Structure 1
Amino acid sequence: MLTKSPLSLVLAVSAFSVSVPVLAQGQDADASDDDEVIIVTALPPPPAAGAYGGTIVDRSAISDTASGRLEEALARVPGFQQFRRSDSRSANVSAQGISLRAIGGNAASRTLLLLDGVPQADAFFGFIPFSLLPADSIASARVTKGSGIGPFGAGAVAGVIELSAVAPAERPAFSLSATGGSQDARMLALSAAFPLGQGHVAVDLNHEAGDGFMTTPVSQRVAATVPARYRGDSLTLSAHVPVSDGVDLLPRVAMFRDDRTLRFAGADNGAEGVDASLRLLARGRWQLEALTWLQARDFSSIVVSATSFRPTLNQRATPTTGWGGKIELRPPVGPGRLVRFGADVRGADGYAAEDVLAASGVRTLSRRAGGQSLLAGAFVEGDLVLGALAVTGGGRIDHWRLDSGYAQEVRPDGTFQADSRFAGRRGTIASGRGAIAWTLASGLRVRASGYTGFRLPTLNELYRGFTVFPVTTRANAALSPERLRGWESGFEWSPSDALRFGVTAFDNRLGDAIANVTIGNNLRQRRNVQAIRARGVEATLHVEHGPVSIDGGWAWSHSRVRIAQGDVSALPLDGLRPAQSPAHSGSLSIAWSTGGWRAQIGIRHVGAQFEDDRNSDILPAATTVDALVRVPIRQGLTLSLRGENLFDEKVVTRNAAGSIDLGTPRTLWLALRWALD
């Protein structure tokens, strides 16, 4: 359960956020119905942002996926990966870290994911709660690889993904979608938006559940093997409130619960949380964005033995509070120019409480581990556009602190078996980035950029160990922040709106990379290795011809672990591929759209990768084919037929010394959606 004090605080913020539109009602009672209303939900993008080569995933690409999930849409971006190949229906909730460019798989995200400027990663583990981010509510995603640090702060060592929610005023007045699929899967989404005073309010309710599929191969199933059942629920309240001319307030409250069963009966894990945020935008001569947020989350998990098939560990609670704020100012400096500066702060406070169980179910040991982290930084960025030339650059300085770290083991009689207290640590890190782009008359744009960044280890990595049978991984309270430096160059050729082609070459080095290093038989520890170096090439293609469109992307990387000669225990890793990092990945989508009709087929390939740091357990390459057909029945009512993994490709998502988990098999869906404007 969520701890009482964070939850009470969040609910207080929630009550305030929901009440704001009511307080704003009637503030412009004399305004004419003919007055133009400008809906602003974000400050304009910097004029030279394209010099960093970001990829835009639009609303149709997000909504038109076979699974109906946001993570599938992001997976089409070359170089995007989750820690495991399984999605949020069959993965352990705490393993949903995201990364880019094969910089090394990690259950804690090396890519910063923002929703309207608010970090979404769990403050204790670093995973992304995708059940809190239904695809229908997302308007677009901008993916900036490598160079994402800028004004976004720590955590963007592999890049940043900026999600923009659909504004309340841009939603239909009412929409309802009901979806049924294989394995008794069902999805229900209800959305309503309505004006309130001079503002708008939106409500989103989402439910999904299913009996799940067998993640265990037939040859490894036992009596205790069960399908990967899942259930997720979320409720989101958002609003747009014009406070005065040119000033807008955007409150948001979201609540979710996510439950899953993995591999064996009783092996349940789940997360729940309440998030609240408040954003102020001013678009006068001086532009301003002020943002504050609060996150109250919890996670629980039961580990079942793969030999006795009885619970061996009950991670009963992981209550965590995350909070933060940001302010950004943009003074008037003239057309084609932009200066922005500001500051941000982020904090986390949480612990994991778990019980070790005997075969009889009796508690033999209790563990508790956690701590606090704090990040505070200031940044300045500048953009200059002179005709065909665009130049941008900036820097930031961050101060970090780790405090109150501890790890305890308590016997059933209340005496301590271990009681470790870790000294607080702190430091200051400077980082920066810069880019230049030149656009030719032929539609060819060439660009280059360089950047640095860092990521602070999560509370989970620092203080809490874990076991995925038969391997135990120890925590490490001495972990240092990861530091990245890199460069990239590329070109985009777009002679018309119907054709875009781009290629990017990159070279990134992640120093002090945090890895799970083997230190004994079935024993690992989180450690800083000297570096992970990832070099590679990415390519994208978009073609339109009448009603037909083609979108494709490919990523190739040469990613290797580098170990200092004095690091004897980790030396065997030198020159090996980082775990969970494929050399090749790509996707191709072909669609036909006209008059509300749409037919689409998608192909996605993920190259071979390794499960472990020693490159001994391989996850073979896999290619899956998806399809979608959408048919308009009448105004506002559509029917969709969707199919995932149509050829039932076997996708290995875990291989621990031959103990295998599989990904989503062939899954068919039928969906009805009704929208009333």
Structure 2
Amino acid sequence: MRTLTLRIAFVLTAAVGAFGQAGEVRVIIRDTAGRQVVNAAAEVKTADGTARPCGSMAEGFVCRIEPGERVSVSASGFAAVEQTLSSEALASGEMNIVLEPAGLRETVVVSAERSEARLGDSPVSIAVLGRVALERTAAPTLDDALRQVPGFSTFRRSSSRNSNPTTQGVSLRGVGASGASRTAVLFDGVAINDPFGGWVQWNRISPLAVEQVEVVRGGASSLYGSGSLSGTVTIEPRSTREPFAFSGEFSAGTQETLSAAGFLGTNYRSWFADINFGRLQTEGYVPVSSEDRGPIDEAAGVRSVNLSGRFGKRFGESGSLFVRPSYFSEDRTNGTPLQRNQTHSRGIIAGGRFERAAGKLGTEFRAFGGTQVYDQTFTAVAAARDAETLSRLQSSPSQNAGLSVRVFTLLGAHSLGAGFELREVRGSSDEVGYFGGNPTSLLGTGGRERSFGVYVQDVFAWGSRAVVAGSVRYDCWANSRGLSATRSLATGITTATIFPDREEDALSPRLSVLYRITPELSLNGSASRSFRAPTLNELYRGFRVGNIVTNANADLRAERAASFEGGASFARGPVYLRGTGFFTEIDRTVANVTLTVTPSLITRQRQNAGKTRSAGFELDAEFRISRLTLNAGYLFADSRITEFPSNPSLVDRFIPQVPRHQFTFQARYAARRWDLGLQGRAAGRQFDDDQNQFRLGAFFQLDGLLNIRVNEDLGMFLAAENIFNSRYPVGLTPLSTIAAPASVRLGIRWK
């Protein structure tokens, strides 16, 4: 008996001794479906609250753990986990951690409000699309993925794959857009809105290169200045902390579509680098409806290439520096033999971030610049659509450069920030005018814009129940060297108009409040003023779409908006609900106003069109149960012209291209070896023109994607867009153009 007792005591002593010693443990991280979670981070939390990173390996991490320490694991889209090492894990040398999907309130907003905050702690309306949601979207372009956010819309309903880039201006909450966006789109902290025209070339960024997209709905000029009149879209680029990481995707499908994208990242000691590349080509489809189609109508498609890299160095945990060069090129067919456009752009971003002490004092900056050339042909099409002749050849070169600096700190319950931005844009439009198929004139227009903005921000946690966020920004800008010159090729006579230099400024405040009635139920409200300065394109460059000519206007002034919103949110377990009512009034709205109408030509001009108003509400819902995730959203927006002194007949007309009703839903089911995603969106009627004569009917579109995992790294997918082949109208000029037919893609994806 004594011998048995001694043996038991010896075994227990050995076990306790082993557990009391430091050991290396392999940490394996998987999701609830048993799949490995990529791009996770693991660290060891010590007893005194400090942390040290774990070493990465092919299938997880290696952590050296002392007695009393815990392993902390986090990953985008998942709830963070802290776990104490068990004696079994120490004995086996392996620790398995399962990550649960994060509730919507737990998603981290990295930069949408220029400060880190949990989504549930933000008093403004923010929609988030993570990498998992993007990977389960059937569409291969970012703009089509973002159409799942209620209120997000481009100038026209059609995808960026099949439409002119000048129709891809973005707006939120029904304020409307022309070619220029009323929403700023940022990538890595720098606006990617076209510096000359304000539209967005969505093919510049492959979804594979994106970690997360945050959509701030409501005026945000108090932080981002001009362009954020209706909100801000912040795109966080993908990165990795692993020694080596690669992701790639290739697909082929109908309409002679080929798509390829890749991400390559590496870390060596304190150095890091990553490269993103993408290629998309599609023959497209014939956009003109069958009843209006003629012999000259052909498919509208695109071929594009994007390439960007990030190369930098970390300085311990205190900061980093990087440089990001980029290149983008695309060639488009626009539906007839002679209508073409192409873009070539090059850019560079140099930036960094430094923190003196965690949360105490830090700064980050971006210096950026780029060049671009946008070329386009315009034609006049015969009424029978059996012939077309050149009417204009146009080349629009532009250059831009800028700098932004932000300083931030924590002071008690206050998160403080301040910064400034400056930018210069130079642009021109060089044209050859044609008549009867022969060149008749040379036209050159252009100018410069210099802008400067400075802002301050305070986010105050008032106890455990309330969050108060306030910010104010002052902007000033100047347009100079505006010129329009025309030379007749027949006579050699040149006429020139020199536009006077001019300056404007704007003050943009915002105050937002969040109050938690209970841990599950919160109320929120916000009031702000915002603005949008006219682009050089609106001031100096005209354009033609079909038989509609839109002239520039060098006398345009900045749009000014006042916005108010209020709502409530509820979160409990797997359920999240949010409802927000909003009211936005825009003064001096820039609109394409019809001047004359003839059977063969409609002439419009950009004008400050009095006042417009967008009022309504939005609803968001999310429900998660086991492996199923359901999202739905609805937007009601009553958007009208409320004042127009120069043309009172337009008062109470609906704002063009804005439906009153929008509905979206997404469903994702993740099994161990496969997953399925469905995306649906619907919109009510809208009008294509300011006089509400050209009505575009309601529509519904359903997309789906099935992904099958061959192994941990390799998967195959089948994507189907417009499953029910809904050929809804996207334009009426008065020529009727329609949406793309049903299409499928088959592809492979590595990690």
What TM-score do you get using the length of structure 1 for normalisation?
Answer: 0.90
Q: Which of 716, 719, 732 is the equivalent residue of 1:639? A: 716
Whole-angstrom distance in 2 between the partners of 1:278 and 1:35: 34
Which residue matches 2:448?
A: 372
Q: Which has the higher contact order (CA 8 A, sep 6+)?
A: 1
Q: Which of 209, 231, 238 is the equivalent residue of 2:281? A: 209
Deviation at 1:168, TM superposition (A): 4.1
Taking the TM superposition and a 5 Å limit, the aligned residue runs for 1:522-561 are 522-561=602-641
Which residue matches 2:587?
A: 511
Q: Does 1:290 align with 2:365?
A: yes
Q: Secondary structure at the match of 1:218?
A: coil
Q: Which of 424, 431, 434 is the equivalent residue of 1:357? A: 434
* Matched letter for residue 420 of structure 1: T
Whole-angstrom distance in 1 between the partners of 2:484 and 2:447: 9
Whole-angstrom distance in 2 between the partners of 1:87 and 1:171: 37
> Taking structure 1 as reference, are residues 485 and 393 closer, same or farther at Cα in structure 2, changes over 3 Å only?
same
Deviates more, 1:239-248 or 1:339-348: 239-248
CA displacement 1:584-636 (0-9 Å, x = unmatched): 11111122112252112221102211110000001111101111100001231
Paired residue total: 638
Deviation at 1:332, TM superposition (A): 3.9
Whole-angstrom distance in 2 between the partners of 1:669 and 1:170: 31
* Matched letter for residue 657 of structure 2: Q
Whole-angstrom distance in 1 between the partners of 2:457 and 2:704: 43
Whole-angstrom distance in 1 between the partners of 2:229 and 2:641: 16
> Taking structure 1 as reference, are residues 461 and 555 closer, same or farther at Cα in structure 2, changes over 3 Å only?
same
Which residue matches 1:142?
A: 214
Taking the TM superposition and a 5 Å limit, the aligned residue runs for 1:554-593 are 554-564=634-644, 567-568=645-646, 570-593=647-670
Whole-angstrom distance in 2 between the partners of 1:634 and 1:151: 45
Deviates more, 1:435-444 or 1:539-548: 435-444
Q: Secondary structure at the match of 1:124?
A: coil
Whole-angstrom distance in 1 between the partners of 2:522 and 2:216: 17
Deviation at 1:458, TM superposition (A): 0.5
Is the 8 Å Cα contact of residues 242 and 266 (structure 2) preserved in structure 1? no
Whole-angstrom distance in 1 between the partners of 2:455 and 2:686: 37
Is the 8 Å Cα contact of residues 136 and 668 (structure 2) preserved in structure 1? no
* Matched letter for residue 575 of structure 2: L
Deviates more, 1:547-556 or 1:68-77: 68-77
Q: Does 1:99 align with 2:167?
A: no
Deviates more, 1:304-313 or 1:419-428: 304-313
* Matched letter for residue 75 of structure 1: R
Is the 8 Å Cα contact of residues 366 and 404 (structure 2) preserved in structure 1? yes
Whole-angstrom distance in 1 between the partners of 2:181 and 2:689: 18
Q: Secondary structure at the match of 1:54?
A: strand
Deviation at 1:189, TM superposition (A): 1.5
Q: Which of 601, 604, 622 is the equivalent residue of 2:681? A: 604
Q: Secondary structure at the match of 2:284?
A: coil
Taking the TM superposition and a 5 Å limit, the aligned residue runs for 1:263-342 are 263-284=335-356, 285-307=360-382, 309-334=387-412, 336-342=413-419
Which residue matches 1:254?
A: 326
Whole-angstrom distance in 2 between the partners of 1:46 and 1:283: 17
Is the 8 Å Cα contact of residues 296 and 321 (structure 1) preserved in structure 2? yes
CA displacement 1:389-440 (0-9 Å, x = unmatched): 1001011111111111111221125834531110011022111001111113
Which residue matches 2:8?
A: none
Whole-angstrom distance in 2 between the partners of 1:436 and 1:191: 39
Pick the structure with greater CA Rg: 2
Gapped runs of 5+ residues in structure 1? 1-30
Q: Which of 116, 121, 140 is the equivalent residue of 1:45? A: 116
Deviation at 1:219, TM superposition (A): 2.2
Q: Secondary structure at the match of 2:506?
A: strand
Which residue matches 1:471?
A: 548
CA displacement 1:96-120 (0-9 Å, x = unmatched): 1000011123110000111121000
Whole-angstrom distance in 1 between the partners of 2:737 and 2:540: 28
Is the 8 Å Cα contact of residues 455 and 474 (structure 2) preserved in structure 1? yes
Is the 8 Å Cα contact of residues 288 and 738 (structure 2) preserved in structure 1? yes
* Matched letter for residue 740 of structure 2: T
Deviation at 1:49, TM superposition (A): 6.3
Is the 8 Å Cα contact of residues 290 and 328 (structure 1) preserved in structure 2? yes
Is the 8 Å Cα contact of residues 139 and 145 (structure 2) preserved in structure 1? no
* Matched letter for residue 152 of structure 1: Y
Deviation at 1:244, TM superposition (A): 4.8
Whole-angstrom distance in 1 between the partners of 2:237 and 2:316: 22
Is the 8 Å Cα contact of residues 39 and 169 (structure 1) preserved in structure 2? no
> Taking structure 1 as reference, are residues 481 and 359 closer, same or farther at Cα in structure 2, changes over 3 Å only?
same
Which residue matches 1:655?
A: 732
Whole-angstrom distance in 1 between the partners of 2:138 and 2:75: 32
Deviation at 1:359, TM superposition (A): 3.3
Is the 8 Å Cα contact of residues 424 and 451 (structure 2) preserved in structure 1? yes
State the identity as a percent: 23
Gapped runs of 5+ residues in structure 2? 1-52, 56-61, 65-72, 77-109
Taking the TM superposition and a 5 Å limit, the aligned residue runs for 1:368-407 are 368-385=444-461, 386-407=463-484
Q: Which of 500, 509, 520 is the equivalent residue of 1:443? A: 520
Taking the TM superposition and a 5 Å limit, the aligned residue runs for 1:425-504 are 425-496=502-573, 498-504=574-580
Whole-angstrom distance in 2 between the partners of 1:277 and 1:38: 29
Q: Which of 123, 126, 134 is the equivalent residue of 2:195? A: 123
CA displacement 1:287-329 (0-9 Å, x = unmatched): 1111111121121111232117334234342111122111111
> Taking structure 1 as reference, are residues 153 and 650 closer, same or farther at Cα in structure 2, changes over 3 Å only?
same
Deviation at 1:171, TM superposition (A): 9.6
* Matched letter for residue 520 of structure 1: T
Is the 8 Å Cα contact of residues 381 and 389 (structure 2) preserved in structure 1? no
Whole-angstrom distance in 1 between the partners of 2:233 and 2:493: 44
Whole-angstrom distance in 1 between the partners of 2:162 and 2:730: 10
Whole-angstrom distance in 1 between the partners of 2:515 and 2:702: 38
CA displacement 1:174-212 (0-9 Å, x = unmatched): 233210110111101133222244122111221111221
CA displacement 1:496-516 (0-9 Å, x = unmatched): 2x1101100000011110001
> Taking structure 1 as reference, are residues 563 and 170 closer, same or farther at Cα in structure 2, changes over 3 Å only?
farther
> Taking structure 1 as reference, are residues 206 and 286 closer, same or farther at Cα in structure 2, changes over 3 Å only?
same
Which residue matches 2:91?
A: none
Q: Aligned-pair RMSD on alpha carbons?
A: 2.3
Whole-angstrom distance in 1 between the partners of 2:144 and 2:403: 30
Is the 8 Å Cα contact of residues 561 and 587 (structure 2) preserved in structure 1? yes
Is the 8 Å Cα contact of residues 168 and 238 (structure 1) preserved in structure 2? no
Q: Secondary structure at the match of 2:381?
A: coil
Deviation at 1:264, TM superposition (A): 0.6
* Matched letter for residue 529 of structure 2: T
CA displacement 1:351-395 (0-9 Å, x = unmatched): 0111112333x3111111111111101111111102111001011
Is the 8 Å Cα contact of residues 168 and 240 (structure 1) preserved in structure 2? no
Whole-angstrom distance in 1 between the partners of 2:498 and 2:695: 38
What TM-score do you get using the length of structure 2 for normalisation?
Answer: 0.82
* Matched letter for residue 662 of structure 1: I
Q: Secondary structure at the match of 1:183?
A: coil
* Matched letter for residue 459 of structure 2: D
Whole-angstrom distance in 2 between the partners of 1:215 and 1:538: 32
CA displacement 1:424-465 (0-9 Å, x = unmatched): 110221110011111133401100000001111001111112
